[in-house]
A and B are shown apart, each in its own frame.
Chain A
Amino acid sequence: MGRILVFLAACFALQAAPFGQTYPLLGEFSDLALDEARSVVYAANFTANRIEVFSTATKTWQTPIRIGIVPSALALAPDGRTLLILNFGSESLFQLDLSTREQRPVAIPPPAVATGVADRPRAVAFGSDGAALLITTTRVLRFDPITGVIDELLANLRPLFGDVPAPQLSGPAEIVSARMAVSQDGKTIFAVGTLNPGLYFAFRYSAPTRDFLFRCSSIVRQPVTSASIAPDGTRYMGGHVLLTETLNPVLAQPQMRVLADFTPTGVLPIQEPPAVPTAPPPNTPAPRPAAVIGGSVFSPDGKTIYASLVDTPGSNEAPLLYVLDADNLTIRQRIRLPERLTGKMISDAAGRTLYAVSEGGLTAIPVSTLSAAALIAVSADTLAFRFDACSKLPATATFDIVHTGGASVDFTLSSSMPGLGFSPTRGTTPARITVSFDPDQLFNVQGTAVGLITITSNASVNLIDPVRVLANLRDTDQRGTVFVQSGQLRDIQIDERRQRFYILDATRNRLLVFGLNDFALQREVRTGHFPLQMALAPDQKTLLVTNAQSETISRINLDTLQQDGVVYCPCSNYPRSIAVSTNATLVTTAVDRALVLQTADNKQVTVTVTEGRMNRVLLDRGEAIQPTTMGVFQNKLSARSLLTATPSGARILIAEDVAADGSVSGVAKVYDADADTFVSARAISAKALKGGAAANDTGLYSAGAVILGSSLTPLAEFQDAPNEHNSLVFFGSQMVRTMKPATGSGPGLISRVDTSTLRSIRPVKLTESPLNLLGDQPLRRTLAATNDGRTFITLSSSGFEVVPGNFDAFIPPAVIRSVTNAATFNPPVAPGSLISIFGDGLASLMTKAGVVPLPTFLADTCLTVNNRPVPLLFLSPGQINAQLPFEITGAATLVVHSPGGVSDAFQFQVPDTAPALFSSNFGDQANPPIPIIFRAFNQEPVTLSNPVRRGDVLTMFGNGFGRVTPALASGAAAPLDALLSTQITPTITIGGASATVLFSGLAPGFVGLNQLNIQVPLDAPLGFNVPLVITAGTLNFQVILPRVAAVIEP
């Protein structure tokens, strides 16, 4: 029965996209209360002066309760007998007996000291003590519904301002709106609201102890229309702000776009702060209308937040329900709703159904059936196409579109990327999409073109993330190996002590840990919301990560690779850039400040400006403090400043893109650890700074494109048109910098900087362009180097790019000496076989392919045989291991394209087969190589002490057995679920006795590796050194079995 219900629910969900159902009713709802005992939702109809009653059982509106007042808020008593109703327009509230429907008004006693503001109720909630906490326009009260007594808990609103200086008030402070939420046990009440100066407040109230915890006020970025609380009372959501137990805010992203940086135009995930206005012109248009923010609800386990956040009212953006991680607001899913949610959202105790105020009435969202609803998932978030000097043929890749419940759901694909094709363009799930890319459409422009495949579906309830397509074209004159990494990568840091490097991903709020030797992802560590920059703490065991959308700095333990607490920044300070010196750890923060400006027609306009502040991190106290000044300088700087310390930690350079007063000139300041103060500040450029910042211990600094001397005197400014400076890094006394095209696409450049002339020397093209410098972070670290300068890593458009330290070294053309069978290091070689090429200068470094299908371009080197690209396994200056394409036979010509140029052609012959077995010498030099033959009996290699026995089944691994059926693409691994047999079946003899060939083909899961399974004949001769001969086609191959023994006796 249960399965039938699930199936019916799934069918219903499949037919009902978007997700949820709206039950329309005329009026404006100001609040909701769920009465699970009576299976009804009470909705305060603000404009119709009544309480609407919605049956959760029949999903119908019942007879309303007429009350004759303007109901602004509701609260259901814990005993379920009384509903408190606040009267918006008077100093009173109403008690409604839900059994008798009897209404009783309760007058709110006037305050002892008159403030001149009418004391009207704004929010109410019941605590575990049976009393209601009541927020009025001027006070916080406690109402006992049994005795009818109202006590005054807070008569003064000053605590609501926290430690922020009270704003200039034209009159008494007034709470203009407030919302409250209660934890499951009723002990904790969370309140959030707006004060008339344009500030929001938040506090936590403990019902058993009647204690308040206040938090500082801040500028309301969005109006607060709802409050929610985790069931255990440890996290709170007020409007778009998630607050921790200590009431530290973790802002939600104003624009909730998961893949924002995937778009070629680089849509920013956070809004660029407006420039500081000087004076609004006459007839300034009114500020943008307040955004509409729906409510939020925590799941019963407290790990998930369901929230409706809309920051662009009136836009055509579909109404969405966001499914968020409750610790750092990482977006898990975006669910389409039938209409926009505009207010309170509540959930039943089991978390099965959400009820929310929406534009047309009440919307019910059955989140417990979400997993059975039409959710579409895509198997890949990125497809990467690589083209090079050896391979410019159209390439294909595939990805799958599936319905998570296994059902059939429609979808349509679209893309505007030139050269990109896919099939099918529409269909139903499950489906495998074949994507092709024609490199001719890149018009020989080197670098990486980025596009998107957009996936839409009429039936799916979730928004489907687009698939990012990367198409890279490179030649051998470009340097660097590109590693694909999705996400919005914000900072990079090398940790040589642990042979790792770290990258921050602001899309999924995580620290990515990579190995410095293999550049493979080792671990993901959760951070706070929107990690922006990082620095190694003085103990070298902790990584400090600034979370730009919260007031915290994450402490990542580098031994355990787990978040180990946070550092709290001052109220309303959002950390951005951080650097560690031998004396102080400094962090810049962004602070929003309200400016009330007067227009020419005497109208007041409030605008928000974002400013920067310098803070000092006190790690032992877990907090950052804000000094009043930066030494002799004012503590006010660009919020987009970038800090960087010298390697010894003696000084910290502060690079400001523009001056704090708004004038467009780059500024540099220096903090001296010895003097423990800011010792110098200088305007260094007439233009706004853009690029990285770096400092070394010899007294050289780099801020944007400007090189500075020890006294911050500009020594040089790079002029890179048509490129622009991207980042610079010091290693030892040397400098390397990157550049990217100022406009359009291209590969970008990397070059050394001559330390005497301070000019770029020997610039070399990169494989792809360094990462764009975003508007919200024009000063940004995108380049890192190892101390010895052997490896450079730059954030790039696909992810990151590793450039060897000898990127600009002179390399002679490759010289090919022989092409051999990889099993014997002797010719001949066969189609599809693994080959070893020996020569000089074949590659600039030693590396191996880390992916399958094998790449045809690796470490700046590629090969062609008869003009076909050759899949590469291993590269070194003296040897290349590769797979000869299956298509090659007869006369063949090999050419190596390396950083030194194009080699001379090397001629060789390719017979249909060239059988050989791989062997290994496990003993000392006196012993002959042992062929790689395994006994099926014990899965161990055949040796003298593990002899072949008559009747044994043997598995042999070899090379050069020729083409296979069905055909397989060169460079691809043999499938695991199907056997590919050689077109020519070899014959095997052991000591002259014929063995039975059980299988001859490709080893599943491997590229080009042949596998032979045979049964040893019962008449095989016994003894030592018995020859095993393999004959395939016209060629044969002999190995010596160390010993053949009789059938084993029991």
Chain B
Amino acid sequence: MRIVAVVVLLCGVTSAVWAQTRDRWEVSGQAGVSLYNDIKATGTSPTRAANAGFFDGVAVGAIWTQNGGHHWGGEFHYLFQTNNMRLKGADSTTGQADFGAQSHSFHYDAVLYFTDREARVRPFIAGGPGLKVYQATGQERAFRPLDTIVVFSHDNQVKFMASGGGGVKVRVGRNTLLRFDFRDYVTGIPKGFVTFPGVKFGGQFHNLVGTAGLGITF
């Protein structure tokens, strides 16, 4: 009985705060697809090459948004992605190999809105730094296709990440909104990909993620 009374009291206090600082904070959940580019690994011989990358996967995450002004804000993102690692033969090299993998991304984006805070539709652009934890979870095998160029290694690694992209938020209720995001997360090569001595990667991973989400504002 005492607990119920406390809950009722807290709800009353919270409602009073909302009334004063309406739409300053926003919490959203999101889900979508995660795509990667391939990076070419090349050895001394041009015919000895492979494309390293990830299979298409699923992304789910959460966003904590602070709306600081009419046209700006900031967002903290967490994103979990299930993209298995992949090797494909490049040029004349054939074969394909895969390895279980997943990632956890944490980043903070500065957000610039193109409309006012009260607008029903708010397109925005965003960008910022972050960290990405690559987890290679597959089973190591003695022999895989392309293992004289690149091999998989059951290792975890934290990589710095740059986030850039945009989206749109659409208010659908007094305190609810739909949001659609698109981001490009750029990282280096995780050490789950191990190149054979003499083989080098050229490029960085661009992780393109498109999500749809539902948020509440308060």
What is the interface of chain A, defined by CB distance below 8 A to chain B?
922-924, 926-927, 938, 940-947, 1024-1025, 1043, 1045-1046, 1048-1049
B72: Cβ under 8 A from any A Cβ: no
A940-B147 Cα distance, complex, nearest whole Å: 15
Q: Does B91 contact A (CB under 8 A)?
A: no
Chain A residues near B141 (CB-CB < 8 A):
938, 940, 945-946
B154 touches A1048 (CB 8 A): yes
B197 touches A943 (CB 8 A): no
B142 touches A941 (CB 8 A): yes
The docked-state distance in angstroms from the alpha carbon of A1043 to that of B147 is: 13
State whether A944 touches B139 (Cβ < 8 A): no
| Size range of the chain B interface in the assembly | 10 to 19
B114 interfacial contact with A, CB 8 Å: no
Chain A residues positioned under 8 Å from B196 (CB to CB): 944
Q: How far is the CA of A924 from the CA of B194 in the complex (A)?
A: 19
* Interface residue B152 (Cβ < 8 Å from any Cβ of A): yes
What is the number of contacts between chain A and chain B, taking CB atoms within 8 Å? 48
Those of B134-156 within 8 Å (CB) of chain A: 139-144, 147-148, 151-156
Q: Show 23 A/B contacts (Cβ-Cβ < 8 Å), sorted by A.
A: A923-B148, A938-B139, A938-B141, A940-B140, A941-B142, A943-B142, A943-B143, A944-B148, A944-B194, A945-B141, A945-B142, A945-B144, A945-B194, A946-B140, A946-B142, A947-B140, A1024-B197, A1043-B194, A1045-B153, A1045-B155, A1046-B155, A1049-B154, A1049-B155
Contact partners of B139 in chain A: CB under 8 A: 938
Give Cα distance in the complex from A946 to B151, angstroms: 9
CB contacts (< 8 Å) of B142 on chain A: these are: 940-943, 945-946
User: Once the chains are docked, how many angstroms separate the CA of A946 from the CA of B140?
Assistant: 5
CB neighbors of A among B170-218 (8 A): 194, 196-197
For residue B201, give the distance in angstroms from its CB to the closest CB of chain A.
Answer: 16
Give the CA-CA distance A1048 to B143 in the complex, in Å.
Answer: 19
Tell me which residues across on chain A come within 8 A of B156, comparing CB atoms. 1049
B97 to A: closest C-beta gap in Å? 9
Tell me, rounded to whole Å, the shortest Cβ–Cβ distance linking A198 to chain B. Answer: 78
- B146's closest neighbor in chain A, by CB? A945
Partner of B143, one of A945, A1024, A1045: A945
Instruction: Write the nearest CB–CB distance from A60 to chain B, whole angstroms.
Output: 75
Residues of A within 8 A of B143 (CB): 922, 943, 945
* Complex contacts, A1043 vs chain B, CB 8 Å: 194
Pair B155/A945 contact, Cβ less than 8 Å: no
Please provide the chain B residues from 34 to 58 with a CB less than 8 Å away from any CB of chain A in the complex.
none
A941 to B139 Cα, complex, angstroms: 14
**Contact in complex: B197, A1025 (CB < 8 Å):** yes
Q: What are the residues of chain B within 8 A of A943 when measuring CB–CB?
A: 142-143, 147, 151
**A945/B197 in contact, CB under 8 A:** no
- Enumerate chain A residues within 8 angstroms of B148, measured Cβ to Cβ: 923-924, 926-927, 944
Interchain nearest-CB distance for A541 vs B (Å): 42
Complex Cα distance, B71 from A238, in Å, reads 112
- Enumerate B75-92 residues with CB–CB distance to A below 8 Å: none
A residues near B153, Cβ cutoff 8 Å: 945, 947, 1045
Which residues on the B side are within 8 Å of A1048 (C-beta)? Answer: 154-155
* Complex CA distance for A668 and B155, rounded to whole angstroms: 84
Residues from chain B with a CB closer than 8 A to the CB of A938 are: 139-141
Look across to chain B and name the residue whose beta carbon is closest to the beta carbon of A930. Answer: B142
Residues from chain A with a CB closer than 8 A to the CB of B147 are 943-945
State how many angstroms separate the Cβ of A605 from the closest Cβ of chain B: 83
Given the known interface contacts A938-B140, A1024-B197, A1025-B197, the answer about A945 and B152 at a Cβ–Cβ threshold of 8 Å is yes
> Which of chain B's residues have a CB closer than 8 A to the CB of A946?
140-142
Q: How far is the CA of A941 from the CA of B141 in the complex (A)?
A: 9
Closest to B48 in A: A926
A878 to B123, CA, bound (A): 80
Nearest CB in chain B: distance from A622 CB, A: 55
Question: Are B154 and A945 closer than 8 Å at their CB atoms?
Answer: no
With A and B bound together, what is the CA distance between A677 and B124 in angstroms? 104
Q: Distance (Å) between the CB of A1027 and the closest chain B CB?
A: 15
Q: Measured between alpha carbons, how far is A160 from B159 in the docked complex, in Å?
A: 100
Q: How far is the CB of B113 from chain A (nearest CB, A)?
A: 41
Look across to chain B and name the residue whose beta carbon is closest to the beta carbon of A1049: B156
Query: Least Cβ distance of A384 to chain B in Å?
Result: 41
Query: Closest CB of chain B to A387's CB: distance in Å?
Result: 45
Nearest Cβ distance between residue A492 and chain B, in whole angstroms?
Answer: 45
- In the complex, A1024→B195 CA distance in Å? 10
Please report the C-alpha to C-alpha distance between residue A1048 and residue B152 in the assembled complex, in whole angstroms.
Answer: 13
How far apart sit A1043 and B154, CA to CA, in the bound complex (Å)?
A: 13
Which of A938, A945, A946 lies at the interface centre, i.e. has the most chain B CB atoms within 10 A of its CB?
A945
Taking the closest CB of chain B, its distance from the CB of A400, in whole angstroms, is 42
Which residue of chain B has its CB nearest to the CB of A922? B143
- Shortest distance in angstroms between B138's beta carbon and chain A's nearest beta carbon? 10
Least Cβ distance of A869 to chain B in Å? 39
- Whole-angstrom distance from the CB of A969 to the nearest CB of chain B? 35
Cα A801 to Cα B88 with chains together (Å)? 55
Residue of B nearest to A1046 (CB): B155
Which residues of the other chain, B, contact A1046 by a CB distance below 8 angstroms?
155
Given the complex, which residues of B lie within 8 Å of A922, measured CB to CB?
A: 143
Residues 10-43 of B at the A interface (beta carbon under 8 Å): none
Alpha-carbon distance A940/B140, docked complex (angstroms): 9
Bound together, the chains give a CA A1043 to CA B191 distance in angstroms of 14
**Shortest Cβ distance from residue A624 to the other chain B in the assembled complex, whole angstroms:** 60
The CA of A927 and the CA of B196, in the complex, are separated in Å by 10
Residues of A within 8 A of B197 (CB): 1024-1025
Query: Nearest CB to that of A937 among chain B residues?
Result: B140
Residue of B nearest to A927 (CB): B148
**A943–B152 CA distance with the chains assembled, in angstroms:** 11
Contact pick for B140, options A926, A945, A1025, CB 8 Å: A945
Residue of A nearest to B198 (CB): A926
| Contacting residues, chain B, for A941 (C-beta < 8 A) | 142
State the Cβ distance, B158 to closest chain A Cβ, in Å: 12
Instruction: A946 to B194: give the CA distance in the assembly, Å.
Output: 11
A922, A924, A942, A1049 — which one has the most chain B CB atoms within 10 A of its CB?
Answer: A1049
Most buried by A among B140, B142, B144: B142
Please give me the residue from chain A that is nearest to B191 by CB atom.
A1045
